[in-house]
Amino acid sequence: METSLNAIKERILYSKAFQLVRHQKNIKTTAFESLGVDNSVISRFENGKTLMGIDKIDACLQEMHTSLREYEYMVNGFAEDTLEEAFHELESAYYENNETKIRSIQKEYRNERLIYLSAKAILDGLTEAEQEIIYEDYSQIESLGYAELSAFALIIEHMATDMIMDMMDNFWDKNTAYYKIFSYRRKLLQGSHRAALELSRRGEKKYAKLVLDVTAGILHERDIFSKTMHLFSVGYYLYRFENVEKGKKKMNFALQVFEEVESYRLLGAYQRFYKETVK
């Protein structure tokens, strides 16, 4: 019952924030018909009677010259989402290899299961019971928010192989709408590439290839960071299964790109992976 009430409250917050944007911009409910969203859909959404897919919300927001980030800010009552902010801190600490900061976040958010287990996964791995909890949680989520995507990117490599593949299938099936939204797509790709690296490390050639093939299909030509992560992941796949020298060459080129674009946190993380796994 509590879950249902929370879902209703969340739906109302999203609908009212959308209505507020529309009123501020003095835009009619009929203005989105060219996007395939008619007046009745907008009315039902704003009245909290139905949900709209994140891709449709994003398209309508663009029509109103409002970013998804601004909209989410309004949904949260013009305050930063505490959990989202915590995930930003955790991700920064992960890339900086700052164990002290990660433990601090884990302690501070011990009552927030998603971020607590994300921090624990980075530091100590996950028990079978904890993996089952995460797997069940994600199986029941209908629509992922940015916090859930952030956790996915940090946790996925610490899951059992069968769970990784089931979760990846679930993500690809449920979240195609996110492919069109830059920040969400990048999180999906971030987690997918970590999964591909871990599957390659475990010797799961078929599964690693499947993940890499799917990620290749949703890369955006202007997203240099995701493309470089993909290049490194393909390089490691080659190193593990097909051609050692060719794989090393691709990985080292990817590291050079991270350095050239001054993405030093990513560079550090991938350099650590290279030193730990490549002979």
Task: Report the CATH number that the domain containing residue 18 is assigned in CATH.
Answer: 1.10.260.40
Please state the three-class secondary structure of 231-261 as a single string.
HHHHHHHHHHHCCHHHHHHHHHHHHHHHHHC
Q: Single out the residue in 52, 75, 98 at which a domain terminates.
A: 75
- Res 6: pLDDT: 52
Per-residue tens of pLDDT for the chain, all 279 residues: 434 445 566 677 788 888 888 988 888 989 989 888 988 999 988 888 887 877 788 888 888 888 777 777 677 665 456 777 889 899 999 999 999 999 999 999 999 899 999 999 999 999 999 999 999 988 887 666 778 888 999 999 999 999 999 998 887 776 666 666 777 788 889 999 999 999 999 999 999 999 999 999 888 777 888 999 999 999 999 999 999 999 999 999 999 999 998 999 899 999 999 999 998
Q: Which residue range(s) make up the domain with 55?
A: 2-75
Q: CB-based burial of residue 76 (10 Å sphere; 0-12 exposed, 13-18 middle, 19+ buried)?
A: middle
- Res 2: pLDDT: 37
Same domain assignment for residues 218 and 257: yes
The CATH number covering residue 177 comes to 1.25.40
Same domain assignment for residues 98 and 64: no
Residue with the two structure tokens 């009245």: 47
Residue with the two structure tokens 């995460």: 134
Q: Please, what is the Cα angle at 266 between 194 and 138, to 5 degrees?
A: 35
Give the whole-angstrom CA distance, residue 58 versus residue 78: 18
Same domain assignment for residues 266 and 162: yes
Other CB atoms within 10 Å distance of the CB of residue 107: 10
pTM comes to: 0.75
Same domain assignment for residues 107 and 149: yes
Same domain assignment for residues 104 and 229: yes
Q: Single out the residue in 24, 59, 75 at which a domain terminates.
A: 75
- Res 255: pLDDT: 97
Residue with the two structure tokens 């164990």: 99
How many domains are there within the chain?
A: 2
Amino acid at 276: E
Of 138, 207, 214, the residue nearest 174 (C-alpha): 138
